[in-house]
Amino acid sequence: MSNKKRELILAFESSCDETSVAVIEDGKKILSNIIATQIKSHKRFGGVVPEVASRHHIEQVTMCLEDAMTEANVTYDDLSAVAVTYGPGLVGALLVGVACAKVVAFSHNLPLIPVNHMAGHIYAARFTSKIKFPAMALLVSGGHTELVYLPKENVYQIIGETRDDAAGEAYDKIGRVLGLTYPAGKQIDEMAHRGKDTFSFPRAMFKEDNFDFSFSGLKSSFINTVHHADQVGEKLSPDDLAASFQQSVIDVLLHKTEHALDTFQIKQLILAGGVAANQGLRDGLDQLIRKHTGVELLKAPLKLCGDNAAMIGAAGYVAWKNGEVANLSLNADPSLEFEWFKKEQ
């Protein structure tokens, strides 16, 4: 047999409200990507309830594992390693995936690879095309909004992040004000396409020379506008409100991203995270990148913007190639973060 042996990673993801197990070939091909989502359950409570999430994960995890192995049509002997999200996320939720991955790795003598969930989101883009370094990632999700510099493979450095709410959090909060059901992001995105930016909400941190974001001022301004209208009995267009809110969020994201493009010499800009599925943001970045010749825009596939184990397998493959292995005492780290970028002196 002259064929080079394919390298298969079995990956686990359970950081929030999706239980997912995947099998990934050579870090770039999805053989299976089973996702059990709990959205319907948490909809009952208007947001993710951590204890409920943890209980669902344990109901699902071995079933997802079985389905992932069956769909990929592989045995444990075919695997090269086991990758697992160990943070950031909900601690009780993370622990289910970590415990399961440890047992599979130990039982079948496979290396265990610890993966940062946010690196996973970035590597969702690996299923679109190869990542070229140095690169910059704009990560926008329910819990995170940050710009991450990737000088080379498996190195992630934050250059800026949100000072208060994550963009996805702001979407959920104003969704509640608009009376939308959780999660509101997709509905607001659709409403925004029907409305116009008539309210001119504030764009925070525009003048400051950094890469940080802030959405709390926008959120307050939005809530005040709606409350004031309620008090005087005025009816505001929900579509225009959504459009104005979304435009403000996108302007802030694009402005800081452009600042990063002007400051760092990079080959690729990667859009990743749950909010990366937002059509307004995707369109905005398409326009922005046209002004920056030599920089390629790499967007995570729409289907892989939400949480899934395929992206953990892709990031895990790179971590494994770079020698990152955990032992059986691996713990969940709910507040795991990338290191901060430091200017060389």
Partner 1 sequence: MNVLAIDTSNQPLSIAILKDKELIATVTTNESKNHSVTLMPQIANLLNSVGMKPIDIDRFVVAKGPGSYTGLRIGVTTAKTFAFTLSKELVGVSSLAVLADAINEEGTLIVPLFDARRGNVFAGGYVKNGTELMNVIPDQHVSLGELLEKTKSYKHIFFVGSDSHKFEEQILEKMSKEQRVVFSSNEDDYPQAYHLGLLGIKEKPVEIHSFVPEYLRLTQAESQWLENHQEKVDETFVEKI
Binding positions for partner 1, rule: CB under 8 A: 19, 34-41, 44-45, 49, 51-52, 54-56, 58-63, 65-67, 76, 91-92, 95-96, 98-100, 102-104, 106-108, 327-329, 331-332
Among 10, 307, 312, 318, binds Zn ion (CB under 5 A): 307
Judged by CB, which is closer to partner 1: 76, or 341?
76
CA nearest to 249, candidates 222, 271, 223: 222
185 labeled binding residue: yes
141 labeled binding residue: yes
Judged by CB, which is closer to partner 1: 107, or 220?
107
278 labeled binding residue: yes
Which residues lie closer than 8 Å to 23 by C-beta, 6 or more apart?
8, 9, 10, 11, 30, 31, 32, 68, 69, 71, 72, 74, 79, 313
Which residues, listed in sequence order, are joined to residue 161 by a DSSP beta bridge? 146
Judged by CB, which is closer to Zn ion: 116, or 141?
141
State the minimum distance, in angstroms, from the CB of residue 117 to Zn ion.
Answer: 6
Task: Let me know how long the chain is.
Answer: 345
The beta strands (E) that lie in 16-132 are given as 18-25, 29-37, 81-87, 112-116
The beta strands (E) that lie in the chain are given as 8-13, 18-25, 29-37, 81-87, 112-116, 135-140, 145-150, 157-161, 268-272, 296-299, 339-340
Judged by CB, which is closer to Zn ion: 94, or 288?
94
State both tokens at 45.
């409570």
CA nearest to 244, candidates 186, 311, 199, 302: 199
262 labeled binding residue: no
Q: At residue 282, what are phi and psi to the nearest 5 degrees?
A: -65, -45
State the minimum distance, in angstroms, from the CB of residue 259 to partner 1.
Answer: 36
Compose the 107-146 pattern: x for residues touching Zn ion by CB under 5 A, - for all others.
----------------------------------x-----
Please choose which of Zn ion, partner 1, none residue 34 contacts, taking the beta carbon within 5 to 8 angstroms, the exact cut-off set by kind.
partner 1
Judged by CB, which is closer to Zn ion: 93, or 288?
93
State both tokens at 119.
């690196």
- 140-199 positions binding Zn ion, by CB under 5 A: 141
State both tokens at 34.
């089973």
CA nearest to 73, candidates 6, 4, 3: 6
Q: At residue 165, what are phi and psi to the nearest 5 degrees?
A: -80, 150
Asked whether position 25 contacts Zn ion by CB under 5 A, the answer is: no
97 labeled binding residue: no
189 labeled binding residue: yes
State both tokens at 251.
């302007």
Please choose which of Zn ion, partner 1, none residue 312 contacts, taking the beta carbon within 5 to 8 angstroms, the exact cut-off set by kind.
none
State the minimum distance, in angstroms, from the CB of residue 85 to partner 1.
Answer: 14
H or E element, residue 61:
helix 50-72
Judged by CB, which is closer to partner 1: 57, or 126?
57
| Annotation: binding site for substrate | 139-143, 172, 185, 189, 278
Contacting positions for Zn ion (CB under 5 A): 141, 307
